[in-house]
Amino acid sequence: MGSSVEQCLLVTGGAGFIGTHTVVQLLNKGFKVSIIDNLDNSVLEAVHRVRELVGPDLSTKLEFNLGDLRNKGDIEKLFSNQRFDAVIHFAGLKAVSESVANPRRCFDNNLVGTINLYETMAKWCFRRLQQFMANQKDIHAAEPEWRIVLLRYFNPVRAHESGRIGEDPKGIPNNLMPYIQQVAVGRLPELNVFGHDYPTKDGSAVRD
């Protein structure tokens, strides 16, 4: 996808960890970006910091929309106002522990949100999507005009080199790196290391 003619991308979940980093890159590459995020696991400050990182000029190419993919009206509003060249779909609840403790909330958020997004895109004859879920293969098989890229990544870590954006989940982090970071800055008291009789130097488990 080139950016010589200004192209506009919709990034769902664009205020989150992967979303903010992606949006910085997209703006720096010359794309216009529209974010939709309900700030369930992020804060508006992260979007302000994206603006700060790209500077005042590129920042005018970023639009933030507070909205929830579970409300079709929130998505409709965007598509009725703007023509998008592609959608990158990051919005979702990702914590494994939450999906076990409260599966209905996760199904409602992730499945209903994704279905609403597909349906609105199809309604506006717009079928270009990059996202992380698996079931769009079925959609592409049935409607080959969809152009879909699957992003399969495994636990990305680190923060932007500026240190201004990074992974800062609400509540107790479910991933190791943000947990360690929160202990380091004193937000959490300690990190528990589990396991004591694995065949390693200190008996704790070695993974990945």
Quick one: which of 68, 114, 117, 181 contacts ligand NAD (CB under 6 A)?
A: 68
Stretch that binds ligand NAD, among 54-62, 84-92, 183-191, 194-202 (CB under 6 A): 84-92
DSSP strand E in the chain: where?
A: 8-12, 32-37, 62-66, 86-89, 128-131, 147-150
> What DSSP line would sit under 193-208, residue for residue?
---S-SSSTTS-----
Stretch that binds ligand NAD, among 1-9, 48-56, 88-96, 196-204 (CB under 6 A): 88-96
88 binds ligand NAD (CB under 6 A): no
Residue 37, SS3 per DSSP: strand
Residue 83 beta carbon to ligand NAD: minimum distance, rounded to whole angstroms: 21
User: N- to C-terminal Cα distance for the chain?
Assistant: 33
Stretch that binds ligand NAD, among 26-34, 91-99, 134-142, 195-203 (CB under 6 A): 91-99
β 147-150/128-131 pair status: parallel
Q: Which residues bind ligand NAD (CB under 6 A)?
A: 13, 15-19, 36-42, 68-70, 90-94, 109, 113, 132, 153, 155-156
